[in-house]
Structure 1
Amino acid sequence: MSDTDKDGLIAKFITTVIGDKRRWRQYKARVKQLPPNYRTAVEAIERYVMHFGPSDSDGAASLFEDVADLFERAAADGTPIREIVGQDPVEFVEALVQNYTKGGYVARERNRLISAIDQAAGEDAGNQDGTV
């Protein structure tokens, strides 16, 4: 695969996942202005979200913009990174992602699991003697 093809795939991925390229560039410019330790933290969150975050472009773009807002304010106030993300950064990001996921495959599968278990539990409740 040529570099041009790879660049095209990356651009398509970014457009699909984060939507408007202008929003993405603005977000990246904001992150670039952060102090190095805050920038490193935001880039780590970004990498994680790219794998496990919302699959709709508006949700992902909003999440990234809100993370940039949060870290810009924290940097301006001198808030330590651990005060932002806590002791478990995965838990922090997972909580963020839940607020921005609208029908991605993870949300659909979670709902499917919940529905299947609810249905199975309902059938079990109706058959106390264990018969089907």
Structure 2
Amino acid sequence: MTTESNEPKSRYLQHLEIITGPLEDKKRWRQYKARVKRLPENYRIAVEALERYLMHFGPADGAGAMAMYDDLAELFEQSAADGTPIRDIFGDDPVEFAEAFMANYPLGQYRARERHRLAGAIERAAGENPEREDRTKR
């Protein structure tokens, strides 16, 4: 059922991906989960907690999200290999770390767009920046 990247996909696979999403993203997700599972327990717990947070607030599209999760696994694999303490990775505020980490992956991040729209609307309403482009009309 697999096809080479230079071969066209069968109609069946095309229809299946319409319903389930790209099969390559599913493969990458399984690989990511396997990498996380191999981490020492305390690192795995930290990654899984961060993963839950990112699921709610991170990029929603497959490619952007998978790039983020691949980098997350790499960060924790390297940290585990170096013996970096969990608190040295996250700092004092895990939410601040998560937000800074997500900021590197804007693709598909509707929250950044909505924050920009909100700030622009409030600036216009307050008469602070009337020349700012109104992105809500797009």
TM-score, L = length of structure 2: 0.72
1:55 Cα offset (Å): 1.3
Give the distance between the partners of 1:118 and 1:85, measured in 2 at CA. Answer: 34
Q: Is 1:34–2:39 an aligned residue pair? A: yes
Give the distance between the partners of 2:94 and 2:109, measured in 1 at CA. Answer: 22
Aligned residues: 111
- Answer 1 or 2: higher relative contact order, Cα 8 Å, separation at least 6: 1
The 1:50–1:124 alpha-carbon spacing in structure 2 relative to 1, beyond 3 Å, is closer
Any unmatched runs of 5+ in structure 2?
1-18, 131-138
Tell me if the contact between 1:31 and 1:42 (Cα under 8 Å) persists in the aligned partners.
Answer: yes
Tell me if the contact between 2:123 and 2:129 (Cα under 8 Å) persists in the aligned partners.
Answer: no
**Structure 2 partner of 1:70:** 75
**Structure 2 partner of 1:48:** 53
Tell me if the contact between 2:37 and 2:44 (Cα under 8 Å) persists in the aligned partners.
Answer: yes
**Structure 1 partner of 2:124:** 119
Q: Map Cα deviations across residues 52-110 of structure 1 (whole Å, 9 max, x no partner).
A: 11112211111111111110001001000100011111110011111112243312210
What are the equivalent positions in structure 2 for 1:1-132 lying under 5 Å apart?
12=20, 15=21, 20-122=25-127
Q: Does the residue aligned with 1:43 lie in a helix, a strand or coil? A: helix
Give the distance between the partners of 2:38 and 2:56, measured in 1 at CA. Answer: 24
The 1:46–1:124 alpha-carbon spacing in structure 2 relative to 1, beyond 3 Å, is closer
Any unmatched runs of 5+ in structure 1?
1-10, 126-132
Q: Does the residue aligned with 2:119 lie in a helix, a strand or coil? A: helix
**Amino acid of the structure 2 residue aligned with 1:112:** R
Give the distance between the partners of 1:124 and 1:89, measured in 2 at CA. Answer: 34
Q: CA RMSD in A?
A: 2.2
Larger fraction in helix: 1
Q: Does the residue aligned with 1:79 lie in a helix, a strand or coil? A: coil
